[in-house]
A and B are shown apart, each in its own frame.
Chain A
């Protein structure tokens, strides 16, 4: 099974170097999608042995992931593992995803953070509320809705094709998993938060909430 790592990046010049250095040790092919960064993210990523793609303008995480996935499947990947570019995910957790994908029992492998410590309280509460809502509306049950550390097979990607271009993509992936009856599992992952202002903000969360209700009605 050919597995690619896809790393969407936006203004991560400070952290992406270390992330790519760590990923280099895994010998897995890496695709970085620079989503219109205004800093030196592209230049830093260029120094590493990766496939580097660039969005001329910032489109959002969902669009960057879509570009990364399509590039991987053009390169004949069978599955993709997504990781954030801020270094919050540890490469030591990668083997769990690889093992689950190689078992070929699952279409999607969701990373699941331990919310009992280290995760900001607002995120933890927001995640809990959203999990219950998704369970209620779509009947799909995962323990972490917004973790960006995931493994997706080509078959699953072809089935779901998300419409979100921003941070709602992770939630939409979970919803699509339920709607398309994809087989999924979860693996525990370690997460370190370096930046409290990046990622899903409260405003993003409100937008996502409206999207969730819209998907329930119209999707």
Chain B
């Protein structure tokens, strides 16, 4: 059972690394981003293959089960990513609004 779960975790992480590299090659991710993503997924692979090492770490930070550590880590990751994409969307919205409004007002400036 554990080996089956480990296989799923490793396979999923490898697929995610593949997608990260693909997006990097398409120029959609920057160097720092691809390095971060690959590091995250490699860490997941390591944790899946060597659960004892991660278990020791979870004991150190007073989390009794390895699963708890992964859930907390997952939450931190998801929340930070959501916050980041929210800010990016807001910024893009603002830029788009400025551009569209500037375009619309172009002719008014000319005629006045």
**Is A211 part of the binding interface, using a Cβ–Cβ cutoff of 8 Å?**
no
What's the dominant secondary structure at chain B's contact region?
A: helix
Report yes or no: A74 in contact with B101, Cβ–Cβ below 8 A: no
The 8 Å CB contact of A33, one of B96, B104, B112, is B104
**Is A78 part of the binding interface, using a Cβ–Cβ cutoff of 8 Å?**
no
Name the residue of chain B whose CB is nearest to the CB of A31: B108
B93-112 interface mask toward A, CB cutoff 8 Å, 1 = contact, 0 = none? 10011001101110111011
- Least CB distance from A62 to B in Å reads 9
Tell me the complex Cα distance, A199–B44, Å: 48
The residues in B between 72 and 112 inclusive whose CB is less than 8 angstroms from any CB of A are 93, 96-97, 100-101, 103-105, 107-109, 111-112
Binds B, one of A63-71, A97-105, A142-150: A63-71
- Least CB distance from B83 to A in Å reads 15
Question: How many residues of chain B are within 8 Å of chain A by beta carbon?
Answer: 13
- Least CB distance from A30 to B in Å reads 13
Tell me the complex Cα distance, A76–B111, Å: 12
Report yes or no: B105 in contact with A70, Cβ–Cβ below 8 A: yes
How extensive is the interface on chain A, given as a class? 10 to 19
Tell me the complex Cα distance, A66–B109, Å: 15
Cβ–Cβ < 8 Å partners of A53 in chain B? 104-105, 107-108
The residues in A between 76 and 93 inclusive whose CB is less than 8 angstroms from any CB of B are 76
Cβ–Cβ < 8 Å partners of B111 in chain A? 51
Cβ–Cβ < 8 Å partners of B93 in chain A? 165
Report yes or no: A59 in contact with B100, Cβ–Cβ below 8 A: yes
Cβ–Cβ < 8 Å partners of B105 in chain A? 53, 67, 70-71, 74
Q: Which residue numbers of B lie inside 8 Å of A, CB to CB? A: 93, 96-97, 100-101, 103-105, 107-109, 111-112
